[in-house]
Every structure is written in C-alpha cells, then in structure tokens.
Amino acid sequence: MMTFKQIITVLVILLAIVPAQASGTDGHRANYQVIPLPGAIHGIKSADFALTQQRLINYPTGNRDMERNAAMLGQYIEEMTGMHLSIRPTRSTREIADNVSLLLDDKIKGEEGYRITVTARSVEIAGRTPAGVFQGIQVLRKSLPVGHAAIVHLPAAQIEGEPRFGYRGMHLDCVRHFFSTEAVKRYIDIMALHGMNRLHWHLTDDQGWRVEIKKYPRLTEVGGWRNGTTLGHNSPVNDGIRYGGYYSQEEIRDIVRYAADRYITIIPEIDMPGHMVAAMAAYPELGCTGGPYEVWQRWGVTDDILCLGKDNTLRFVEDVLAEVAQLFPGEMIHIGGDESPRVRWEHCPRCQQRIRELGIKAEGNQSAEALLQGYLTTHVQQFLSGYGKRIIGWDELLGCKVDTTATIMSWRGPEPGAQGAQLGHDVVMTPVDPLYFDYYQTSSTWNEPQAFGGCNTLKKVYDFEPVADKLPADKRHHILGAQANVWTEYITCEPQIQYQVLPRMAALAEVLWLEPQEKNYQDFLERLPRLAQIYQLYNWTYRAKSLIPEDENKD
C-alpha cells in the first residue's frame, strides 16, 4: 500500500509528464496554416488546449444563428476526428473556461472578420457577426488533423483574419447539365470550406429551363427537357437521349436556406434576352418569328432571342422575375445579357416599331438594337428595384447604356471590368482567363476529362489580381471581388464538377482573402496537401496532380 504522501508524489510526477507528452509528437496536433491563410497567427505563452469529447461547445443563449454555428462546429469536429462534443447555451463568460466558445465581439474588424484565441484553458471563436464566427469555425475546422483521435492538441495562439473582398463567388451552370439538389448542396459545402460567400446559380439557358415558375408551368414541363444532346464539341452526332430536370420552388427555398445557413448568398441568373430558347420552345410567341422552337441540343450562341416588340414579352419577363425575386432573398438578381445577336431584331417589324416608338437612335458604335437591349435592361432594373433588388449582368451591358446601379460581371477579360469601374459601376471580376473553371487546368490535356478548352492552371488562378494596377484609387472600391465560372457543356456529373473546381477554388480563396503581398505560391502549395486530405475525407474528387508544382507534372 502506498502512503498518502507517496500517492501525491506519483500524481505530481504524472501531471508533470502528461502535458509534456501530450504536446509531443503523437500527430494529433492542430495546424493553423490553413487555406486561405489567416491574416495573423500569434503564439501565446501557454500550454496547449486539449480538445476531447468532454469539452462543450458554448454559444450565447437565445441566438439561433450562433446555435446553428455551434452545431455546425460540432459536426465538423466529429467528421474530422470522430469526437462528439455537445453544444450548450451559455449566459456568462464565466462558463467559458475549459470549453470551446462562440462569441460575438463588435470590436472585431469587418463583417466577416474572426478571431480565435486558444489557451490551455479555453478556445474562443469570436466574430463581429455570426458570419464572422462561421469563418472562424472554418479555420479551426481546417486546422484539425483528419483521422480518429481521442484528443487533439491545439497550440496556444491568437489567430485573426478578415476577407479582402466582400464578393467571393462560385458560379454553377445547372442548365447545360442538370445536378441534383444534393449535388448543389455539396457544392455549397465545398464553397463554405473555402470561405466563399456567393453562389451564382445559372438556371435558364437555351438547353433548359430549371426553375419552376408557377405562372408559366410550360417553362419546366416543356422547357425543362431536350430530346438529345450533341456529343463532344458540337459534333454532328447526337445521343438522342431525352434529358432534363428542374428545381421546384420548394427545392429552391430549401437550397437557399441551406446556403444561408452557411452564410452564402445565392444570386440566381435568368439570362435575357439571349440564351432563352428553352422558354421560347415552351411559349413560341416570345420569339420574333413565333417559332416553332426546340430546346437546344447543341452548344454556343443562337440568333433566336426574345422579341421585344411584343408587350407580352415584357409582361413575361416581369412575371418570371417577380417569382424569382420572392424565391431568392439576396439583393442581387443576375439578368444575363450576354451573347445576344441582334439579327432577328433587325428584321422584326415589331422590334423596329418599338425602336421607333421609343425614339431610339443609334449612338456612336451603339446600334439602335443594342440600345433596345439597354431598354429591356433598364426596364427590368426599375421593375426589380420595386422588390428592393439590384441587377447584375454580363459585361455586354456596358454596350447597352445602362445606369451605374447595375453591377457588371467582367467575363471577356479584365478590361471591361476596369472600364465599368471607371464609369462608376460595381464590378465582379470573372475573366475567362484564368477564372473559367470549365477550362483545362493543364496544357497537357490528353489525360484530362473533356473541357471547354483553354488552360487555367492552379498557378494562374493563384496569381490573379482582381484590381487592375491602372485603376485610380477612388475607383478601386467598385471591384467587389471575383468569381470562378463553371459552365457545364462538357461536365456531365458531380465528380467532374468537383474535379474542375478542386483545387483551383483553394487558389481563388487565397486571392479573395489575402492582400497581394501576403500571397506566396510556394507556401500555398505546402499547405495544400492538408486541405486535400479534407477533400478525401468527404470523398470529393479533385485534381491531385495540381498538388505537384506545374513544371514537375508534365506528362
């Protein structure tokens, strides 16, 4: 039998040894060098925090957003480590010790800024808003090692970050190919992991109409389906397989909520006046010739666009947008505007009559027909402002004389964006080169899934700078951020979407979170394998070869 004194001695020795071992090399240690890299990581003089199942996740009582954040953190920790932590509402900071706590702190900079404080006693994730706390949660989540553990050691530190840009977007074309609500939700999950906050959802196009509109049921009944799809890059061969699908309004609301829970705003796109053949197949009177039209089975640009000579067309556009405005609570609605050839309008007596009635005259290099598109855009802009919405559209809008409350999405290179910002438009940068993620990610394409073309490597994405050097200081605030576009002509299934966006989304995330001088590609590449382990954990497909420096991965 040991004496009481001996027991105490043994305990003291054990206590001295255990923490030393705990912070040792057992592999279960957090690493805060995540992607996107936090703005600052300062060590704190303290022992590690030992994260175990016995810890609680605290959140402020009565705050539903913070409760959801807490539940989400619990889920992430469980997925990463297998440890199940309970969540608990707390009233006072006294209860915070010994646990992981989510807090709101209005001293933190930026709407989405976060601060994580780890000491031997507690972990605090603070933000000025619940959205900021959510970003902090993502950082903590990514810092955990992947794999089952009974204990994870979190080095004592203060970690802070704030995104450089407020608009951090990913686009998804669910028209050219259709993706299930589950696949869209997984896309949202992937975005959340990367600190992205805007999903531009392309819902209508020539090849399909994918959003239920109660007033026009044929849009999805007829316009939601095509009788075949061309094989490859518009080959003469067609698979002859009926293809389609759409999202019911209930499904849309569910996805909008799912995104909002992850602080992601969805910007729906109803593309007009071009890319509208699916709607015209359902309601042929919407076109200049009256059709008949077929939901398109090829890729590219068609001359058949909405007829603006008919009052019915404008009423149709308003009715559709009224339903869309109610489905999507975000402030912006994307009204397309790209690739609208005007040959039909040139030969359409009704459109010409409209041009005369409105007194539209060609100005400089803007034809009367271009200005007719401007008339539609301005009409829609005014209509949507009644719903508290602002429009965003492709950079073609700059050639149609629209006022500066329209945000411009610069896709045909960075120049239209710079020009738009000079004129006073807000701008989202999404130049084909390097932000089209439907393009190849290597010049050695033989071993890649078929893509649109091009070559947007991980490095090119990483090196992208959204704000042009020549943009004057007083115009720079107009650049809201950037977005990668994922057109799906050649992307037929969910793993292929993931392959195209991972790991390029990681590079874009760093472009959007860090100041240019904070970026370092070599360092990014060193941090990337740990992020890829998380991709693997969730069974997401990604281009593993991109983890090797470009010059070493030529086939």
> In this structure, what are the phi and psi dihedrals at residue 157, rounded to the nearest 5 degrees?
-170, 160
- The minimum distance between CB 403 and ligand TNX, in angstroms, equals 21
Query: Which secondary-structure segment (H or E) carries 384?
Result: helix 368-385
Q: Which residues contact 526 (CB under 8 A, 6 or more apart)?
A: none
For the CB of residue 53, give the shortest distance to ligand TNX in the complex, in Å.
48
For the question of residue 426 being annotated catalytic, the response is: no
Listing DSSP states for 403-422 in one string gives -TTSEEEE-S-SHHHHHHHH
Query: Which of 175, 284, 292 lies closest to 226 in space, CA to CA?
Result: 175
Query: Rounded to an integer, what distance in angstroms lies between the CA atom of residue 167 and that of residue 165?
Result: 6
Give yes or no for residue 209 binding ligand TNX (CB under 6 A).
no
Interface with ligand TNX includes 452 (CB under 6 A)?
yes
Contact 294, 227 (CB under 8 A): yes
- Give the nearer residue to ligand TNX in terms of CB position, either 489 or 510: 489
CB of 223 to ligand TNX, least distance (A): 17
From residue 251, how far is each of 75, 180, 182, 212, 241 by CA, in Å?
24, 10, 10, 10, 25
Torsion angle (degrees, nearest 10) of CA 270, 272, 277, 279 = 50
Nearer to ligand TNX, 81 or 410 (CB): 410
Q: Which of 251, 319, 339, 433 binds ligand TNX (CB under 6 A)?
A: 339
Query: Among residue numbers 461 through 490, which ones bind ligand TNX (CB under 6 A)?
Result: 487, 489
Q: End-to-end distance of the chain based on CA atoms, in angstroms?
A: 70
Is residue 205 part of the annotated active site? The answer reads yes
Q: Indicate whether 394 belongs to the interface with ligand TNX (CB under 6 A).
A: yes
Element (H, E) at 19: helix 4-22
Other C-beta atoms closer than 10 Å to the C-beta of 45 total: 6
How many chain residues bind ligand TNX (CB under 6 A)?
Answer: 9
Q: Which residue among 98, 319, 331, 339 is the active-site one? A: 339
Q: Which of 67, 160, 162, 205 is catalytic?
A: 205
DSSP symbols for 473-494: GGGGGGEEEEEEB---SS--SH
Shortest CB 476 distance to ligand TNX, Å: 24
Structure tokens at 478: 């107009």
- Following DSSP, what letter does each residue of 309-351 receive, concatenated? TSHHHHHHHHHHHHHHHHH--SSEEE----S---HHHHH-HHH
| Phi, psi for 140 (deg, rounded to 5) | -60, -45
**Contact residue for ligand TNX among 59, 345, 436, 540 (CB under 6 A):** 436
Q: Which is nearer to ligand TNX, 117 or 456 (CB)?
A: 456
Q: Which parts of 143-252 are beta strand (E)? A: 152-154, 157-161, 167-173, 198-202, 204-205, 208-209, 225-226, 243-244
Q: State the nearest-atom distance from the C-beta of 219 to ligand TNX, in Å.
A: 19
Min dist CB 456 to ligand TNX, Å, is 11
Give whichever of 135 and 302 is closer to ligand TNX, judged by the CB atom. 302
Q: What is the DSSP string of 41-106?
A: EEE-SSPPEEE-TT-EEEEETT-HHHHHHHHHHHHHHHHHH----EEEEESSGGGGTTSEEEEE-T
Is 440 a binder of ligand TNX (CB under 6 A)? Answer: no
Judge whether 339 counts as a catalytic residue: yes
Minimal distance, residue 415 CB to ligand TNX, in Å:
15
Query: Which residue in 112, 212, 338, 426 binds ligand TNX (CB under 6 A)?
Result: 338
Nearest distance in Å: CB 238, ligand TNX: 19
Up-side HSE of residue 54: CA atoms within 13 Å toward CB?
Answer: 6
Of 511, 539, 516, 509, the residue nearest 170 (C-alpha)? 509
112, 124, 269, 438: which one contacts ligand TNX (CB under 6 A)? Answer: 438
Which residue, chain included where needed, has tokens 């309601």?
283
Catalytic option among 275, 334, 425, 478:
275
Please say which residue, 185 or 298, places its beta carbon nearer to ligand TNX.
298
The answer to whether 206 contacts ligand TNX (rule: CB under 6 A) is no
Residues 411 to 430: which contact ligand TNX by CB under 6 A? 411
Interface residue list for ligand TNX (CB under 6 A)? 338-339, 394, 411, 436, 438, 452, 487, 489
Active site residues: 205, 275, 339
